[in-house]
Structure 1
Amino acid sequence: MTPNTDTNAKSPMDAIHPALASALAAKGYSALTPVQMAMTNEDHGDSDLLVSAQTGSGKTVAFGIAIAPTLLGSGECFAAAAAPLALVIAPTRELAIQVQRELDWLYAAAKVQIATCVGGMDMRNERRALERGAHIVVGTPGRLRDHIMRRALDLSAIRAVVLDEADEMLDLGFRDDLEFILGAAPQERRTLLFSATVRRGIAELARTVQTNAVRIETTGSTEQHADIEYQMMLVRRDEREHAIINTLLDSDSASALVFCHTREAVRHLTARLANRGFAVVSLSGEMAQSERSNALQSMRDGRSRVCVATDVAARGIDLPNLDLVVHADVPSNPETLLHRSGRTGRAGRKGVCVLIVPQNRRGAAQRVLTLAKLTATVRAAPGIADIEARNRRRIIDAAASAAEPDGAEAEFVAELLNRVEPERIAVAFLRQQLAAHPVPEELLPLPAEAFEDKKSTRARRGADKRAPVREPRGPDMQNGVWFTISLGRKQRADPKFLLPMICNAGGVTKRDVGVIRIEDTETRFEIAEDKAAGYAEQISQPGSLEKGIRIAPAGEVRGKSRQAKPKFRQDGKPSQKHKAPSAERSKTSKHKGSRKPKRNA
């Protein structure tokens, strides 16, 4: 077959309206994304379009390209602004403002006038902008409906309507508002509906507001976003926030976005990160628009590195250099997961998406990933050693990559080296660099079985159902001495609270404690050989433990713990956290038994 050598073949860029083509060239667009490419198809003409495209694929530029012929025709620029010619509806304030910014530069050569109508802004200023005239109006459903009802927004000249993130607008309950707004627009118009997925509700909306729409799908049906790496980070239930802190510290990302389910969770996590020294801002629906704008600007100009947000508040925001998305709460459905994750890996940039998953939520997280047709690497949270090693590499790289001193600096550098030894200068630099990063959190390691798949776990449990639970603090010690504490699984024992208790009782540090094995009614643990004698003496002193809890060398307690157990239930007063429900029932049944002889008497 002879290859096509026609040098006059028309490129997709040639199909774009000249006014927009010049703006794209000035922005450095040398190639179009799949959804943008689809909008250059001249066969679509003035048809309605039902478009599904993945988040971060350049949809705003895409529909800007699509409606340009409808708005401008063969003209190079717009006539004087009067009643709007195009209406773009977005689910959130942030997305609407983002759309307005994109269309501003895309249509700049056409001398466009754009008005925004979004909740949280001064309605009087919006009304004055509409009275002055606008070629394109961008807004949120509720505010647009208000302006229509107050006769401030005239849709009689509308030629094209764009519904951006239509699936999100339905999820937020805006269907009635959308139908009201579109009912006020002329029947002879183009309607472009963009959605990440075309599920049943979107299909029904399309049949209601569109006529013979052309279906365009640019999302891969089975292939996940190649520019996003997904990780499922398994953690203990009480160490979720510690894992988030360490994940942020272990990342090279210039900026990160952390998603929470609720506003209260956003407030709590933002305060926690700020207290730890992170440059952090938050986004939630309760914030005023000015606060939200300031938070986003802080992320864009680099004053803040971390943004904690709810799903709705962060919908549609586009932050440059966003390389890391952290799901502090497991997403409840695949759409939420995809939209959250789509904040990174945009416009060809690589990104990492981390799901912080408590052990007991692993199944739910895996189901959401499966429904979203995503594959994630299962891993543990980064520990202190990992983060410290990364910090050392960063510090060495920063020093090695520093440029030679220029003329203004050279004299001072010479004076500094003359007065201060190089080792002391290096120490000062090292301390300054270390102080610039928050201290990582210590995380207890998860047992190896936590990272097994379900089939492997069931097979292993079937092989030894009676094996004691082993919660390792570290490797078995050489000649370590075993002790036991009178708290086990029945008392809801957990290494998280056992380890500080063990250390405080015997005056040792965490490094002196080896393996911790939790059994039904007691827990066995190792103490380093050189510390064991002092530990045994310390725990024999009164007041070293809460009343009713005993620690003793393992050889003693095996027999004595059974004798001491009734005393622990009846007379001891450990904290509620250490009590077993069965102990309370035993106490009640014993009292009932003691009353029976009186009734018989």
Structure 2
Amino acid sequence: MSSSETIVPALAQALEKRGYAELTSVQKAVLAPELGQADALVSAQTGSGKTVAFGLAMAPTLLGGAERFADAAAPLALAVAPTRELALQVRRELEWLYELTGASVASCVGGMDMRSERRALERGAHIVVGTPGRLRDHITRQSLDMSALRAVVLDEADEMLDLGFREDLEFILDAAPTERRTLMFSATVPRSIAALAKGYQRDAVRISAAGEEKQHLDIEYRALSVAQADRENAIINVLRYYEAKNALVFCNTRAAVNHLTARFNNRNFSVVALSGELSQNERSHALQAMRDGRARVCIATDVAARGIDLPNLDLVVHADLPTNPETLLHRSGRTGRAGRKGVSALIVPNNARRRAERLLQSAKLTATWASPPSADEVLRRDEERILADPAFDDPVREEERGFIDALLEKHGAGQVAAAFVRLCRSSRSAPEELVEVTPFTPSGEKFARRDEAPARRDAFGDSVWFSLSVGRRQNAEPRWLIPMLCRTGGLSKREIGAIKMQPEETFVQIAADWADRFLAAIGPDRKLQGSIAVKRLDGTPDLSRAGYQPPKPQKKPHRGKQNAPKFDKHASPSAEQRPAKAFEAKPWAGKPGKPKFDKAGPAKQKKAKRRAG
């Protein structure tokens, strides 16, 4: 093993016993001679071996040249992690790494019995691992003695700040001795982390661990274009196609986790859930079920899955797209570890394609764009797995031969093989039929499924035109009309020709030999999704107009007198056409000498009155 001369001998033996052939880049970086006993600010991605790295880095500080620890008294080291799962995982890692040194490792995490933790601290522990809130509680209650600390480690420091633990971290660091070694590990080093390091570290060495690229080279990224309504069915087919020993499905909300868990339980998947609403006991049982094989699929939110380590995790599925590139890398980094290959599959609805492209570009990742595995592809993969089953390599044992001969004599080889295939398939969920969606290249150009060239629409052949009572004003788009037609009308994309969008309706061309079947499939009410009316057209619609309506009849002639003059409202009227004045002077019916005014208006009345004097 490289760098073995700088590793404490007891820890080197533990690594060899664990099967470590070579250290990762971050582990080599913290063992560099120039680091010595200095503080360090290390940026390294999840899955790069950070726990073993800081375990190796602080060992010389804790042991002080000795091979084994003395009897446990006040803690010598404190490791702080953002979540309960990560803290318990760090404790397990440090236990096997420090096993030959006689170290006692205790944990203090939220959700566990605080009295049991206090008794463990009273018995003595060399290393304490905990979450910020619980550690602060123990310090406040004076059950955690900080006076003898030689090293403090902050693991996933950026995540702890994002979760709002800054005040707790500052309280813990203020309570620790001034003469201590502080190691901070963070996936990224934003301004907040740099400020924390500046305030609580002394002349820290900045280490940026390379090798994250190598880790992600072991991950195959696939972006799967799906119809919006087929997202869950696509996840089912992905899980069935890969049949991973452990698969992790990420959702953005607790509600989505609960929904998918219920759906997959009904589909005969062995599934567990991880979300913030679960108790610590429930979360621990869920992770243990994944580790011992009782469950194979874990559905989780980003926060709940932070820091968990599943050794046989071969598949990560993004049911909801990550919100940023860092989350994408954190999620995907759960697989492809320790030289194992992994797959990270992004479920991309059509309306989220450009967002997925920007996400991959920001993360500097290249994904293969394709369609999800179809039902036929899943079944073919099942057949390949059956043929490659190692059970066929085992020779027939003598005690089995008699029953095998009797079985073949009674049923025959063909019937026995058929029963075996049915038995294998009955234990698995049936794959889903998916609406075929044309995948996209990263540049946005469509390409045909299975490398087929797209058919020319002008050579569609005999067809029948249909009118749908939805158009551009109702935000109709071919990308959701086509799946709806296929799903409701029993069609495939090959039977659908041109689609012409109009303001209030849409014209769809359907192959002539499928027209009657299409009408029979949608039912006698001739409606799609309960509100979109379908009408069969005779001939080709007139696409030069904004719709397909019969021409309006000519205006009827004027019903008045035939000799009534017709006025042009835009032309100046002639003297003959000019209408009579609004009023005429009439003799005054009252006293003589005064004119009579009509009621043409108050302004004219006043004017006439002034003239009359």
TM-score above 0.5: yes
- 1-side partners of 2:464 and 2:80: how far apart? 68
**1:445–1:473 contact (8 Å) kept in structure 2:** no
Q: How does 1:353-432 map to 2 (within 5 A)?
A: 353-398=344-389, 401-432=392-423
Aligned residue in 2 for 1:515 = 496
**Equivalent of residue 498 in structure 1, options 481, 485, 495:** 485
Asked if 1:165 is matched to 2:146, the reply is: no
- List runs of 5+ in structure 2 lacking aligned partners: 448-453, 553-613
- 1-side partners of 2:219 and 2:131: how far apart? 29
After superposition, what is the alpha-carbon deviation per residue over 1:388-420, rounded to whole angstroms, capped at 9, x for unaligned? 221221222228844222233222212211221
1:551 Cα offset (Å): 3.4
TM-score by length of 1: 0.82
1:549 Cα offset (Å): 2.2
- 2-side partners of 1:376 and 1:149: how far apart? 50
Aligned residue in 2 for 1:23 = 14
1:387 Cα offset (Å): 1.4
Sort the Cα spacing of 1:369 and 1:123 in 2 relative to 1 into closer, same or farther, 3 A: same
- 1-side partners of 2:212 and 2:410: how far apart? 66
Sort the Cα spacing of 1:176 and 1:325 in 2 relative to 1 into closer, same or farther, 3 A: same
1:483 Cα offset (Å): 4.5
- 1-side partners of 2:46 and 2:110: how far apart? 23
> Which residue identity is paired with 1:178?
L
- List runs of 5+ in structure 1 lacking aligned partners: 1-9, 461-471, 503-508, 567-601
The alignment-based identity, stated in percent, is 53
Aligned residue in 1 for 2:268 = 277
SS at match of 2:407: helix
> Which residue identity is paired with 1:515?
I
1:555 Cα offset (Å): 2.3
Sort the Cα spacing of 1:221 and 1:296 in 2 relative to 1 into closer, same or farther, 3 A: closer
Asked if 1:124 is matched to 2:115, the reply is: yes
1:11 Cα offset (Å): 5.2
Asked if 1:180 is matched to 2:171, the reply is: yes
1:220 Cα offset (Å): 4.9
After superposition, what is the alpha-carbon deviation per residue over 1:98-139, rounded to whole angstroms, capped at 9, x for unaligned? 000011111111111111011111111111111111110000
**2:526–2:533 contact (8 Å) kept in structure 1:** no
- 2-side partners of 1:414 and 1:59: how far apart? 57
SS at match of 1:293: helix
Greater shift, 472-481 or 57-66, is seen at: 472-481
1:436 Cα offset (Å): 2.0
**Equivalent of residue 443 in structure 2, options 434, 447, 453:** 453
Aligned residue in 1 for 2:581 = none
Q: How does 1:572-583 map to 2 (within 5 A)?
A: none
SS at match of 2:216: coil
Asked if 1:526 is matched to 2:526, the reply is: no
**Equivalent of residue 484 in structure 1, options 443, 466, 480:** 466
> Which residue identity is paired with 1:453?
S
> Which residue identity is paired with 2:468?
S
Asked if 1:350 is matched to 2:337, the reply is: no
- 2-side partners of 1:309 and 1:528: how far apart? 48
Sort the Cα spacing of 1:415 and 1:221 in 2 relative to 1 into closer, same or farther, 3 A: closer
Aligned residue in 1 for 2:533 = 549
> Which residue identity is paired with 1:524?
V
Asked if 1:335 is matched to 2:326, the reply is: yes
SS at match of 1:373: coil
> Which residue identity is paired with 2:35?
H
- 2-side partners of 1:50 and 1:40: how far apart? 14
Sort the Cα spacing of 1:401 and 1:14 in 2 relative to 1 into closer, same or farther, 3 A: farther
SS at match of 1:381: coil
**1:58–1:347 contact (8 Å) kept in structure 2:** no
1:500 Cα offset (Å): 4.4
Aligned residue in 2 for 1:257 = 248
**1:475–1:514 contact (8 Å) kept in structure 2:** no
1:369 Cα offset (Å): 2.1
SS at match of 2:533: coil
SS at match of 1:494: helix
Aligned residue in 2 for 1:268 = 259
After superposition, what is the alpha-carbon deviation per residue over 1:491-523, rounded to whole angstroms, capped at 9, x for unaligned? 536233333443xxxxxx547982254432234
SS at match of 1:225: helix
Larger radius of gyration: 2
1:222 Cα offset (Å): 7.1
1:481 Cα offset (Å): 4.5
After superposition, what is the alpha-carbon deviation per residue over 1:161-194, rounded to whole angstroms, capped at 9, x for unaligned? 1111111111111111111101000010000111
SS at match of 2:361: helix
- 1-side partners of 2:459 and 2:421: how far apart? 34
**1:484–1:557 contact (8 Å) kept in structure 2:** no
> Which residue identity is paired with 2:485?
L
> Which residue identity is paired with 1:214?
V
Paired residues in the alignment total 534
SS at match of 2:34: helix
- 2-side partners of 1:403 and 1:147: how far apart? 57
- 2-side partners of 1:386 and 1:296: how far apart? 31
> Which residue identity is paired with 1:213?
A
Sort the Cα spacing of 1:396 and 1:203 in 2 relative to 1 into closer, same or farther, 3 A: same
1:382 Cα offset (Å): 1.6
Asked if 1:91 is matched to 2:82, the reply is: yes
Greater shift, 278-287 or 238-247, is seen at: 238-247
Q: How does 1:266-305 map to 2 (within 5 A)?
A: 266-305=257-296
**2:317–2:345 contact (8 Å) kept in structure 1:** yes
Sort the Cα spacing of 1:372 and 1:223 in 2 relative to 1 into closer, same or farther, 3 A: farther
**1:89–1:139 contact (8 Å) kept in structure 2:** yes
**1:485–1:552 contact (8 Å) kept in structure 2:** yes
**2:77–2:149 contact (8 Å) kept in structure 1:** yes
1:476 Cα offset (Å): 11
Greater shift, 472-481 or 319-328, is seen at: 472-481
1:96 Cα offset (Å): 0.4
- 2-side partners of 1:382 and 1:26: how far apart? 41
Instruction: Determine which structure has the larger helix proportion and give its number.
Output: 1
> Which residue identity is paired with 2:466?
T
SS at match of 2:225: strand
> Which residue identity is paired with 1:498?
L
TM-score by length of 2: 0.80
Aligned residue in 2 for 1:248 = 239
Sort the Cα spacing of 1:14 and 1:408 in 2 relative to 1 into closer, same or farther, 3 A: farther
Sort the Cα spacing of 1:214 and 1:535 in 2 relative to 1 into closer, same or farther, 3 A: closer
> Which residue identity is paired with 1:514?
E
SS at match of 1:420: helix
- 1-side partners of 2:270 and 2:521: how far apart? 44
> Which residue identity is paired with 1:418?
E
1:79 Cα offset (Å): 1.1
1:16 Cα offset (Å): 0.9
**1:477–1:526 contact (8 Å) kept in structure 2:** no
- 2-side partners of 1:542 and 1:362: how far apart? 37
After superposition, what is the alpha-carbon deviation per residue over 1:283-308, rounded to whole angstroms, capped at 9, x for unaligned? 01110111111111111111111100
Sort the Cα spacing of 1:86 and 1:475 in 2 relative to 1 into closer, same or farther, 3 A: farther
**2:226–2:348 contact (8 Å) kept in structure 1:** yes
